[in-house]
Structure 1
Amino acid sequence: MNRALWAGAAAIIAVATGAFVASIGLRPDATPPLVSAARAADGSATVYYQDPDGKPRYSLTPRKAPDGRDWRAVPASADISFDAPGQPPVETKAADAKGERGIKYYRNPMGLPDTSPVPKKDSMGMDYIPVYEGEDSDDGSVKLSPGRIQRSGAKSEVVVRRPIRSLIPAPGTVQEDERRVSVVALRFEGFVESVANVTTGDHVHKGQVLMNVYSSALSSAAAEYLSAFNAGATGKELKGARRRLENLATPEPAIKELERTREISLSIPWLAPQDGEILERNAVNGMRAGPGDVLFRIADHSLVWVLLDIAERDLAQVALGTKVTIRPRALGGQTFIGAVALIYPHLMAQTRTARLRIEVENPDDALRPEMYVDAEIETGTPAPVLAVPESTVLDSGTRQAVLVDKGEGRFEPREVKLGRRGGGYVEITQGLSEGEAVVTSANFLIDAESNLKAALKGFADARSPQAAEPASGAEAHP
């Protein structure tokens, strides 16, 4: 090829390089890292001229800038690597190195799945690109020049073991512990003679008097027991009379008082069954109460539940006993620590969330039912695991892969299996070994190159050069 053709090819490649630089995010007016102004004055033959400010503008003839400065001359000996289709003459060292290897076939310069065993041109007159032995390995890896790696910003990181910790944020509400709620009701027909000085919201203690109750059924049972007791009855007879009082839920102190005084009181003090706050008071002085009527409802808030809703995708990361930090919105930064006590078996159909129950100690009654809280569920692996940055993984939805840096500019796509995520890292359960290097940035560019070369290689294997070789002196056509 004569000097003019070389110059034309170099200019075309230079323009293509400028487009590639723009495509990977560099400023169009940035000085390309491919051309050095110092090399332009080494006395070598000039192949083209470049804008003196380093802008991606080129000319085959000398030119001047608007301010009178000469465009920079780019010699054939300049150390330039465009990584563009074709072999520019300025890549003398690379060309010599490739000349020592055999050419396997030629591929379409536009990346189409079309190859030829002999040199040819496409419909636009562009030369097909030679593929040398060793450039397309059988392991599906791709080899890039240092220039392309530098321009694309590709970076690698060694795979190491590290603990993965993540926090799952979740909203929730405080609820009563269902096991710590009780009601005060009668098992017989009776009357509330008087109610103690307690109201809704008051805190009561177990055994505290709530009201005085009269009932003919209760008086009859008390008379029967007292008769047997006074007669010195023993065994089943006395036990049966006492059991009748117990079946009517007569407070134990009232039975003890009956045994001590041997007198039947007109009314019996009715006591609180547990410590807690009175949530409901329906008892009124002189009212008639039937069996089962709820006269008081009492709840113990020393331990409460916090119900959290988490996304369905996070459910696999949560287990019983997982630590949870709870911050009530109404308590100004005060925090409580609890643990997951129950994962409800059904999802919430309307929100597609899973519900968790957290048991939290509440000795000061600071947590009140129906309070809104913000919680953080601490998940992760207790021991270090093999992990890579999340940016390393190429996820197509059905396939997850990483690019393994094999050194010397060669990268191998490898399918992996993922585990937990957290802190910007993802666990690798299968596909990588500790100490291997993986690409953490610009991996999508290398992956695209790998996919292209894999497709071209498959096409080349389907059309072997021997089978597709035309007769001597004839030009090959697709």
Structure 2
Amino acid sequence: MNKSALRIILALCIGVGAAGAWSVQVRHWPPHPFFALAAAAERHVLYFRDPGGAPSWSATPKKDAQGRDYLPVYNDEEPSFEPPAPKPKTADGSRKILYYRNPMGLPDTSPVPKRDPMGMNYVPVYEGDEPDDSSVKLSPGKIQRTGVKSEPAQLYAIRTLVKAPGTIQLDERRLSVIAMRAESFVQRVANVTTGTRVNEGQMLMEIYSPAVAAAAAEYLATINSSVTSGHAAYGRGSRQRLMNLDVPEPAIAAMEKSGTAPVTVRWSAPRNGIVLERNAVDGMRAQPGDVLFRIADLSVVWALVDVAERDLGAIAVGQSVMVRARSFPGREFNGQISVIYPQVNRDTRTTRLRIELPNADFALLPDMYVDAEIAVGSRAPVLAVAENSVLDTGSRQAVFVDKGDGRFEPRIVKLGRRGDGYIEVREGIREGEVIVTSANFLIDSESNLKAALKSYAEAGNPQTAVPSGASDMKDMSGHKDMGSHQ
């Protein structure tokens, strides 16, 4: 071998060794800052969470009540809400694909494989992976975003208030009318006017009546005869004649004491009360039947209230009622139902109640507006759920039972009484079952979407079997107005 060949071989060995050493050194070099920046650029902040772990989030940096900064949550730290892995294949290795769903959980499906706008493949949904058609399944993220809340069905003593407007009226049994029963003349009227409060026995006017004067003279003559003859029974007929002419008892007693027949008779008030009407005038002539005074006792008054027809079944005579007068804010008047009038107003569909109210200080006046509140319901506890739990279509009512793991089952229920924010449930659920109380509209819309997707999958893939429960689900939740009541 000549010297030239040796030189070439030696040069090649030195080059290979140097290259190997250089490659070893390169592998131990620290990463260049450019690569670190590129890796950091791939992460971005989704939102900021409370540093203490409280359920509070923010789209921008902020501080909590203690002045601590909210912690950033990056895209690679967000928990995954993907459904569990598909079930193992059957023995023959074949599994039917029902449809393909959106990988982000959006309400979008496809009968054939496709990609979303971000390039992610739609996820196949196999036969057997779908929940039973009697339930609805939501992802944890959707449940958290929409604020789905639940509470167990429990026993409550439902008490409610029936409210009704009304007016104050006079007690018909506490009215008195002063009218003459014979032709009379008003000699003088006392200082009594409309609205004056009078007491029983207080003088109202002086009357001259020929019939009363003749009866008084006959009565006194009969009394004197009975004293002379010793027959005490004399004079009873004459006294009765004075009473028939409605002469007040104090005036008859005064005649008996004085023994003389007066020219005029003092007419007094028959009861304590308020003068509602005064028609007597000095010197006037009063014919039989003419009303000269009208007096009412206001110590007890009536509240006549109109109750809706639907509430009559819960109301009975003797129930306690609390009445508020619009003229006295904050003050309460307590009474009892004395009469339920046996008639329903065909125009307003209401029935009138009579409530007796004590009125010792005469605060309640006739025709005053009042508002009555009647507590109805049983003190015995019944199975009840929150009012917001019920989806009412008009023809049927339903609730959603929280089965856990994001599964919600619709139940048709039969309802009873309502009150205090709760509704009695007579059939459909059991005590302790967890019922959805908020965001029912979301679950209802998911039910409608699910039924529609089943029909769409069946139309796009005739070989795909649609479970028999889909039609029942659609019938229960396919009402457009079901979620609108929430």
Q: With the length of structure 1 as denominator, give the TM-score of the two structures.
A: 0.66
**What corresponds to 1:185 in structure 2?**
179
Distance 1:267 1:79, change over 3 A: closer
Q: Give, as a single letter, the amino acid of the residue that structure 2 aligns with 1:335.
A: E
Residues 240 and 468 of structure 1: CA distance in aligned 2, closer, same or farther (over 3 Å): same
Instruction: Report the Cα distance in structure 2 between the residues aligned to 1:268 and 1:73, rounded to whole angstroms.
Output: 106
Corresponding residue of 1:163: 157
User: Does structure 1 residue 404 correspond to structure 2 residue 396?
Assistant: no
Q: 2:200 aligns with which of 184, 191, 206?
A: 206
* Structure 1 unpaired stretches of 5+: 1-48, 56-71, 83-90, 470-478
Question: Which one of 356, 360, 366 corresponds to residue 359 of structure 1?
Answer: 356
Q: Distance in 2 between matches of 1:422 and 1:73?
A: 47
Query: Taking structure 1 as reference, are residues 467 and 336 closer, same or farther at Cα in structure 2, changes over 3 Å only?
Result: closer
- Given that residues 302 and 356 in structure 2 are in contact (C-alpha distance below 8 angstroms), is that contact kept between their aligned partners in structure 1? yes
Which SS does the other structure have where 1:330 is aligned?
Answer: coil
Find the partner of 2:128 among 133, 153, 162.
Answer: 133
Number of aligned residue pairs: give it. 389
TM-superposed deviation, 1:104 = 6.5
Percent of residue pairs identical: 52
Counterpart Cα distance in 2 of 1:208 and 1:221: 23
Is 1:53 the equivalent of 2:45?
A: yes
User: Letter of the aligned partner of 1:407 in structure 2?
Assistant: G
Distance change in 2, residues 1:151/1:240 (3 Å) = same
Aligned AA (1:95): A
> Which of these residues, 139, 142, 147, is aligned with residue 136 of structure 2?
142
Structure 1 residue 394 displacement after superposition: 0.7
Shift of 1:115: 11
C-alpha contact 1:304 1:361 (8 A) present in aligned 2: yes
Equivalent residue of 2:330, what SS? coil
Partner of 1:276: 273
1:1-27 CA distance string (max 9 Å, x none): xxxxxxxxxxxxxxxxxxxxxxxxxxx
Name the residue aligned to 1:106.
98
**How do residues 3-402 of structure 1 correspond to structure 2 at under 5 angstroms?**
52-54=44-46, 80-81=80-81, 94-97=84-87, 99=89, 106=98, 130=125, 132-133=127-128, 135-137=130-132, 140-168=134-162, 170-229=164-223, 230=225, 239-309=236-306, 318-331=315-328, 333-344=330-341, 345-347=343-345, 349=347, 355-402=352-399
- Pair 467,175 (structure 1): closer, same or farther in 2 beyond 3 Å: closer
C-alpha distance in 2 between matches for 1:303 and 1:191: 34
What's 1:438 paired with?
435
- Tell me how far 1:159 sits from its aligned partner: 1.0
SS in 2 for 1:97: coil
Paired AA for residue 135 in structure 1: E
Q: CA deviation at 1:216?
A: 1.9
Q: What do residues 353-388 of structure 1 show as CA deviations (whole Å, max 9, x unaligned)?
A: 554433221111222334344554444443333221
1:257-301 superposed Cα distances (whole Å, 9 cap, x missing partner):
444544332222222111101111111222111111111111111
One-letter amino acid matched to 1:198: V
For 2:344, give the aligned amino acid: H
Go from structure 1 to structure 2 and tell me whether the alpha carbon gap of 1:348 and 1:181 turns closer, same or farther (over 3 Å shift).
farther
Checking the alignment, whether the CA contact within 8 Å between 1:183 and 1:294 is kept in structure 2 is yes
Residue 104 to residue 401, structure 1, CA distance change in 2 (3 Å): farther
Q: Which moved more, 1:155-164 or 1:377-386?
A: 377-386
Aligned to 2:54: none
Q: Which amino acid in the other structure matches residue 130 of structure 1?
A: V
What is the letter of the counterpart of residue 132 of structure 2? S
Contact 1:136 1:453 in 2 (8 A): no
CA contact (8 A) 2:46 2:75 kept: no
**C-alpha distance in 1 between matches for 2:419 and 2:412:** 21
For the residue of structure 2 that corresponds to 1:187, the secondary structure is coil
Residue of structure 1 in register with 2:425 after alignment: 428
Q: 1:338 to 1:398 in 2, by over 3 A?
A: same
What pairs up with 1:442-457 in 2 under 5 angstroms?
442-453=439-450
- TM-superposed CA distance for 1:227, in Å, is 4.9
TM-aligned CA distance change 1:223 to 1:144, over 3 Å: same
* Residues 52/458 of structure 1: CA separation in 2 closer, same or farther (3 Å cut): closer
Give the gaps of 5 or more residues in structure 2. Answer: 1-40, 48-73, 115-120, 467-486
Task: Name the SS of the counterpart of 1:184 in structure 2.
Answer: strand
- Helix, strand or coil: the match of 2:331? coil
With normalisation by structure 2, the TM-score equals: 0.65
Distance between the aligned counterparts of 2:438 and 2:190, measured in 1? 74
More moved, 446-455 vs 426-435? 446-455
Q: Deviations over 1:64-90 (max 9, x none)?
A: xxxxxxxx8869xx96335xxxxxxxx
Q: Which amino acid aligns with 2:130?
A: E
Residue in 2 that maps onto 1:69: none
Who wins on radius of gyration, i.e. which is larger? Answer: 2
**TM-align CA RMSD:** 4.5
Structure-2 separation of matches of 1:217 and 1:50: 119
